[in-house]
Amino acid sequence: MKPKLGFFDFTGCEGCQLEVLNFETELVELIQHVDIVNFREAISERGQDYEIAFIDGAITTQSDIDRIKKIREQAKILVAMGACACLGGINCLKNFRPMEENLRIVYGDCAKYYNTIPARPVSAVVPVEYELPGCPINRYEFLKLAKALLLGKKFELPNYPVCVECKKAGNVCVFEKGGFCLGPITRAGCNAICISNGRHCWGCRGLVDDPNTDSEKEILQKYGLTVDDILKQYRLFNGYMEVSK
């Protein structure tokens, strides 16, 4: 029997689901070994007999909480997919304002027709077996996890900072160019794609385990920056960590 998969969207842009669909031959190979029974972006069927659930998006309403709990009851394995599902993501920026003010700013006179609660990652509501961080996910990391699940093998995320991948790519440090970067404390696995394309690390993959905060402080001090400077930048994707403490 092929394992049955379901993909479910909550609050987010659904870009992580689109990354899965961006596969060509790899996706054709994968569906030879699994049955996708629920995936709004790809199929019209809505099967509820899935064993593995992939969750895209943050939890931002009471109905989201009720729905994710039902999905958790059905799924043997639940995977949070992307920065919103794993970290709360950009959605958590609203947590720094009163919810009523958020509704007023976004919906104006129609605010009374909507509801909202402080945004949170999936793991803040239900247990999660695996996480695939990033904005969007690295689709090859998704494929690696899918193969590990099919083969019953262990899957682990990289546990070193983006700086390692940056050095492998031969990039000049963003700090050396007068910019700001969260690479020293952010989990690798993206192949330093943002820095390699002339940008900086935004922290969308969350903190690496046991980040070297002393080293980060030394870097900040060297370039005339403060801890407050980095916290303001880190809030973009990781605001839930700040307000939940």
For residues 171-186, give the mean pLDDT: 91
pLDDT tens profile 187-242: 999 999 999 999 999 999 999 998 777 777 787 788 888 777 777 888 999 999 87
The count of residues in the chain is 245
Please tell me the distance from the alpha carbon of residue 85 to that of residue 53, in angstroms, as a whole number: 12
pLDDT tens profile 1-50: 899 999 999 999 999 999 999 987 888 888 899 999 999 999 998 999 99
Collapsing DSSP states into helix, strand and coil, what is residue 126? coil
For residues 114-119, give the mean pLDDT: 95
Q: What is the pTM of this model?
A: 0.92
pLDDT of residue 230: 76
pLDDT of residue 23: 85
pLDDT at 58 over 60: yes
For residues 110-134, give the mean pLDDT: 97
Helices (H), 39-192: 62-74, 83-87, 99-107, 139-151, 162-168
Please tell me the distance from the alpha carbon of residue 230 to that of residue 144, in angstroms, as a whole number: 32
Q: pLDDT band for position 244 (50/70/90)?
A: low
Please tell me the distance from the alpha carbon of residue 46 to that of residue 37, in angstroms, as a whole number: 6
Average pLDDT across the chain, whole number = 92
| Low-confidence winner among 28-42, 74-88, 140-154, 214-228 (lowest mean pLDDT) | 214-228
Quick one: how far is CA 188 from the chain centroid?
Answer: 13
The pair of three-digit structure tokens given for residue 149, joined into one six-digit string: 């699940």
Please tell me the distance from the alpha carbon of residue 245 to that of residue 240, in angstroms, as a whole number: 9
| Whether 7 contacts 41, CB under 8 Å | yes
The three-point CA angle 46-143-57 to 5° equals 50
User: Looking at this protein, which amino acid is placed at residue 26?
Assistant: E
